[in-house]
């Protein structure tokens, strides 16, 4: 973290947390009455709703039924199984508790939890408005709420206008981003080829200097997404006005037939040998779903270019530049560059602004790429940067709330998200809604022009012949997304959360600020732990935290071997891991762990870590000769500080202090056992 701005006056982890009281059920289930009362109220509301649909119908279930032996037997069986379920669930890891600082899970915001439960009773299916006449609209509103948080325009009159929808999780949203990029970016090549083969000439189209039919493939691939969307509209307008219906239909058919979606990756690249295999660039810290994405889409994981990171574990702009230059030299098209807003392992914030400005520079050289921001984790932190009126909060104003956050790069990164093409964000992570709720948001809803499972053969009367009615289009949501059936209840959870806590600094942002305060508190108080452990063990933060995740490396004093340090770390982890616990209830704290590959670090960072930890630099190597002493990766304890009650001045020793004490004990014990 950078130098403090105004440590005396900054609000922070020592403020009262009373304001949080009604948000969650609570670690002691303090709000049990509230939850039960509201839930039962709306359960009954649902019950009486059922009775108001054709009340004249005789109820199919007899009032006497419950006294029959079959009925009683079924209920007994159900209750017995539910008891069994409940008994097993009680072995669950207590994510809700501030003693849990492991993975990205915490307590659930009450509005979303209740909203989801109520909606489940109605069981809408957000694949089409016929199966979700109410909640589909809410899902699209979630898309707009999130889009506005990222700074995209959601005004239908504006070009571009953003849209978004809920996915089962961030992984699906990541797939979808690439699916959309591919569909749009290869389109102009196919359209040109079909037009040329039909011996037609629409003249000059958007983004091109000369005739469309003369444009070369590299130029057509390196149009911006906005240009591709406009180019397609122009071409279809021209087809509608200048061609006969039969000609237009034939051309539309030929275009569809030549698309990469139709021919497949192999067939398309065979047909366009002049175009190299496209690459996708991600920081080396990116989530493993990106590798999965390239495998799934048939793009090939070998075409995933991992870009090096700085010692803050942020994508290194120089490394990006070098990777782009390499692609340029090799004539490889760049499908997309992915920036991560809050990496899964370190919470680090990639410099999205640097990716945006790299694009501006490279565009001039004829190399364009789509930008996707994987904000599965950090997306909701954007609410901190958004004023109630939707404007960006100034850096100076924002810094007043924190001691360190946000540094220059972090601030610029969040501010630049609005220049990206699409974003992944997980309401089920920092949105504090139940699992099964991710989201995909695109800056330009025109991207959906390139995705439909229906053939475009019906030319007249279709969307092609006039302005697209996106509202009507998205009523058939399943046509424009990867998933089919999907729960309206998940969308509702996010929707009502954003209604009760709008996505700006005054509402949702306050919750996010709390998590950053936790991190700043932990960051500052580690010094005390370090002092107490002096001469026993070295505890370091390998990377200064950007947001609300903190990793620690621990090395017993005097140990020079990374392999031994890793083994030591694993022994500590055994004592805070959820899976190794015999009885979960006896655990004091829960953490998680991660590994950093030597190959992911630059030599300076690797050397610095060894130095700070007192390790022999030769023991941290990509080429392990002696596994007894060497390793190609560092074992770290990893802490997600999203529970809002980790700190707070008014209810005794806070949980981060306690965790530090506990860690001290574990370190002492581990050293004792190791002797």
State which of positions 553-582 bind a second copy (CB under 8 A).
Answer: 577-579
Q: Should residue 123 be labelled a site residue for a second copy when binding is judged by CB under 8 A?
A: yes
Please give the residues from 616 up to 645 whose contact with a second copy meets the rule CB under 8 A: 645
Burial (0-12, 13-18, 19+ Cβ within 10 Å), 499: middle
Q: What are the C-alpha distances in Å from 30 to residues 25, 27, 428?
A: 6, 7, 22
Angle at 184 between CA 183 and CA 185, to 5 degrees: 105
Please give the residues from 499 up to 518 whose contact with a second copy meets the rule CB under 8 A: 499-500
Among positions 217, 240, 436, 668, the unique one binding a second copy when judged by CB under 8 A: 436
We find the least distance from the C-beta atom of residue 616 to a second copy, in angstroms, to be 23
3-state secondary structure of 561: coil
- Smaller CB distance to a second copy: residue 60 or 535? 60
* DSSP characters over 461-489: TSGGGS---HHHHGGGGGGSSS-SS-BHH
Angle at 127 between CA 126 and CA 128, to 5 degrees: 90
We find the least distance from the C-beta atom of residue 539 to a second copy, in angstroms, to be 23
We find the least distance from the C-beta atom of residue 648 to a second copy, in angstroms, to be 7
- Smaller CB distance to a second copy: residue 3 or 53? 53
Sign of the torsion formed by the C-alpha atoms of 605, 607, 609 and 612: negative
Helix axes 225-242, 170-185, angle to 10 degrees: 50
3-state secondary structure of 374: strand
We find the least distance from the C-beta atom of residue 412 to a second copy, in angstroms, to be 28
- Smaller CB distance to a second copy: residue 435 or 532? 435
- Smaller CB distance to a second copy: residue 90 or 361? 90
Among positions 5, 10, 121, 671, the unique one binding a second copy when judged by CB under 8 A: 121
- Smaller CB distance to a second copy: residue 123 or 330? 123
Please give the residues from 449 up to 468 whose contact with a second copy meets the rule CB under 8 A: 453
Among positions 213, 297, 541, 618, the unique one binding a second copy when judged by CB under 8 A: 297
Q: Could you say which DSSP state residue 386 is in?
A: B
Please give the residues from 515 up to 534 whose contact with a second copy meets the rule CB under 8 A: none
Q: How far apart are CA 189 and CA 215, in angstroms?
A: 9
Q: Should residue 665 be labelled a site residue for a second copy when binding is judged by CB under 8 A?
A: no
CB 146 within 8 A of CB 425: yes
CB 513 within 8 A of CB 163: no
Q: Could you say which DSSP state residue 405 is in?
A: P
Q: How far apart are CA 270 and CA 263, in angstroms?
A: 9
CB 185 within 8 A of CB 220: no
We find the least distance from the C-beta atom of residue 170 to a second copy, in angstroms, to be 6
- Smaller CB distance to a second copy: residue 172 or 341? 172
- Smaller CB distance to a second copy: residue 129 or 237? 129
Angle at 341 between CA 335 and CA 343, to 5 degrees: 100
- Smaller CB distance to a second copy: residue 288 or 535? 288
Q: What are the C-alpha distances in Å from 336 to residues 78, 146, 170?
A: 51, 22, 17
Sign of the torsion formed by the C-alpha atoms of 42, 47, 51 and 53: positive
Instruction: Please choose, from the candidates 569, 625, 616, the residue with its C-alpha nearest in 3D space to the C-alpha of residue 596.
Output: 569
We find the least distance from the C-beta atom of residue 289 to a second copy, in angstroms, to be 5
- Smaller CB distance to a second copy: residue 130 or 604? 130
CA torsion 424-426-431-436 (nearest 10°) is: 150
CB 225 within 8 A of CB 370: yes
We find the least distance from the C-beta atom of residue 490 to a second copy, in angstroms, to be 7
Please give the residues from 412 up to 431 whose contact with a second copy meets the rule CB under 8 A: 426, 428-429
We find the least distance from the C-beta atom of residue 161 to a second copy, in angstroms, to be 24
Please give the residues from 588 up to 607 whose contact with a second copy meets the rule CB under 8 A: 588, 592
CB 645 within 8 A of CB 607: no
Among positions 490, 519, 596, 660, the unique one binding a second copy when judged by CB under 8 A: 490
Q: How far apart are CA 228 and CA 335, in angstroms?
A: 14
Please give the residues from 169 up to 208 whose contact with a second copy meets the rule CB under 8 A: 169-172, 175, 179
We find the least distance from the C-beta atom of residue 57 to a second copy, in angstroms, to be 7
- Smaller CB distance to a second copy: residue 75 or 607? 75
CB 371 within 8 A of CB 421: yes
Stretch that binds a second copy, among 142-150, 167-175, 234-242, 599-607 (CB under 8 A): 167-175
CB 38 within 8 A of CB 547: no
Number of residues that bind a second copy (CB under 8 A): 163
We find the least distance from the C-beta atom of residue 672 to a second copy, in angstroms, to be 25
How many CB atoms are located within 10 Å of the residue 86 CB?
A: 10
Among positions 10, 15, 122, 473, the unique one binding a second copy when judged by CB under 8 A: 122
Q: Should residue 22 be labelled a site residue for a second copy when binding is judged by CB under 8 A?
A: yes
Among positions 13, 333, 487, 556, the unique one binding a second copy when judged by CB under 8 A: 487
Peptide bond just before 496 cis, omega within 30 deg: no
Q: Could you say which DSSP state residue 276 is in?
A: P
Instruction: Please choose, from the candidates 515, 548, 552, the residue with its C-alpha nearest in 3D space to the C-alpha of residue 648.
Output: 515
We find the least distance from the C-beta atom of residue 320 to a second copy, in angstroms, to be 22
- Smaller CB distance to a second copy: residue 350 or 426? 426
Please give the residues from 24 up to 83 whose contact with a second copy meets the rule CB under 8 A: 25-32, 34-36, 38-40, 42-54, 57-63, 65-66, 68, 70-71, 74-75, 77-79, 81-82
Q: How far apart are CA 106 and CA 86, in angstroms?
A: 20
Among positions 206, 483, 612, 664, the unique one binding a second copy when judged by CB under 8 A: 483
Q: Should residue 19 be labelled a site residue for a second copy when binding is judged by CB under 8 A?
A: yes
Q: Should residue 485 be labelled a site residue for a second copy when binding is judged by CB under 8 A?
A: yes
- Smaller CB distance to a second copy: residue 19 or 242? 19
- Smaller CB distance to a second copy: residue 258 or 317? 258
Q: Should residue 130 be labelled a site residue for a second copy when binding is judged by CB under 8 A?
A: yes
We find the least distance from the C-beta atom of residue 59 to a second copy, in angstroms, to be 3
CB 505 within 8 A of CB 385: yes
- Could you tell me how many residues make up the chain? 675
């Amino acid at each position: 973290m950078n130098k403090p701005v105004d440590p005396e006056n900054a609000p922070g982890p020592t403020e009262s947390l009373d304001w949080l009281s009604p948000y969650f059920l609570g670690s002691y289930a303090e709000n049990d009455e509230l939850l039960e009362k509201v839930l039962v109220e709306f359960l009954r509301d649902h019950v009486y709703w059922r009775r108001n649909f054709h009340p004249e119908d005789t109820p199919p279930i007899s009032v006497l039924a419950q006294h029959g032996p079959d009925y009683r037997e079924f209920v007994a069986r159900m209750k017995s199984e539910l008891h069994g379920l409940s008994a097993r669930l009680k072995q669950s890891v207590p994510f809700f508790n501030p003693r849990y600082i492991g993975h990205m899970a915490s307590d659930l915001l009450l509005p979303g939890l209740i909203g989801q439960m109520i909606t489940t009773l109605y069981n809408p299916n957000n694949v089409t408005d016929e199966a979700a006449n109410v909640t589909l609209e809410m899902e699209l509103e979630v898309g707009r709420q999130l889009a506005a948080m990222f700074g995209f325009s959601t005004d239908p009159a504006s070009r571009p206008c953003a849209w978004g929808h809920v996915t089962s999780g961030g992984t699906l949203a990541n797939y979808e981003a690439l699916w959309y990029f591919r569909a749009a970016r290869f389109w102009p090549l196919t359209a040109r080829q079909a037009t040329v083969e039909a011996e037609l000439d629409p003249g000059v189209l958007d983004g091109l200097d000369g005739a469309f039919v003369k444009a070369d493939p590299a130029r057509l691939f390196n149009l911006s997404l906005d240009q591709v969307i406009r180019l397609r509209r122009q071409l279809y307008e021209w087809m509608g006005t200048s061609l006969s219906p039969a000609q237009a239909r034939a051309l539309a058919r030929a275009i569809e037939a030549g698309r990469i979606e139709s021919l497949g990756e192999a067939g398309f690249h065979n047909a366009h040998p002049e175009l190299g295999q496209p690459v996708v660039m991600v920081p080396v810290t990116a989530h493993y779903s990106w590798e999965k994405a390239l495998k799934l889409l048939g793009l090939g994981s070998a075409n995933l270019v991992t870009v090096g990171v700085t010692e803050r574990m942020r994508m290194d702009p120089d490394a990006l530049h070098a990777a782009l230059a390499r692609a340029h030299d090799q004539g490889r098209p760049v499908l997309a560059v992915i920036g991560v807003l809050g990496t899964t392992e370190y919470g680090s914030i990639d410099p999205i602004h640097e990716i945006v400005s790299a694009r501006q520079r490279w565009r001039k050289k004829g190399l364009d790429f789509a930008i996707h921001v994987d904000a599965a984790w950090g997306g909701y932190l954007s609410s901190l940067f958004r004023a109630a009126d939707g404007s960006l909060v100034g850096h100076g104003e924002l810094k007043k709330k924190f001691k360190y956050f946000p540094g220059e790069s972090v601030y610029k990164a969040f501010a630049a998200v609005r220049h990206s093409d699409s974003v992944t964000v997980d309401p089920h992570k920092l949105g504090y809604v139940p699992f099964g709720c991710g989201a995909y948001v695109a800056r330009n809803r025109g991207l959906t022009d390139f995705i439909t499972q229906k053939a475009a053969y019906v030319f007249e009367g279709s969307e092609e012949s006039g302005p697209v009615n996106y509202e009507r289009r998205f009523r058939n949501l399943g046509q424009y997304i990867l998933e089919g059936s999907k729960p309206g209840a998940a969308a509702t959870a996010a929707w009502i959360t954003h209604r009760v806590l709008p996505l700006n600094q005054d509402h949702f942002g306050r919750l996010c600020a709390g998590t950053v305060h936790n991190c700043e508190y932990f960051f500052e108080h580690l010094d005390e732990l370090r002092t107490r452990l002096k001469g026993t063990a070295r505890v370091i933060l390998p990377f200064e935290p950007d947001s609300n995740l903190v990793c620690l490396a621990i090395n017993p004093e005097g140990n020079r071997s990374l392999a031994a340090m890793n083994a030591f770390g694993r022994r500590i982890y055994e004592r805070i891991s959820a899976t190794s616990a015999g009885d979960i209830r006896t655990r004091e704290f829960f953490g998680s762990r991660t590994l950093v590959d030597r190959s992911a670090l630059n030599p300076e960072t690797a050397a610095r870590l060894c130095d700070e930890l007192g390790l022999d630099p030769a023991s941290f190597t990509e080429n392990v000769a002696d596994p007894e002493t060497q390793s190609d990766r560092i074992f770290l304890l990893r802490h997600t500080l999203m529970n809002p009650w980790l700190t707070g001045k008014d209810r005794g020793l806070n949980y981060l202090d306690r965790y530090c004490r506990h860690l001290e004990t574990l370190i002492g014990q581990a050293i004792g056992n190791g002797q």
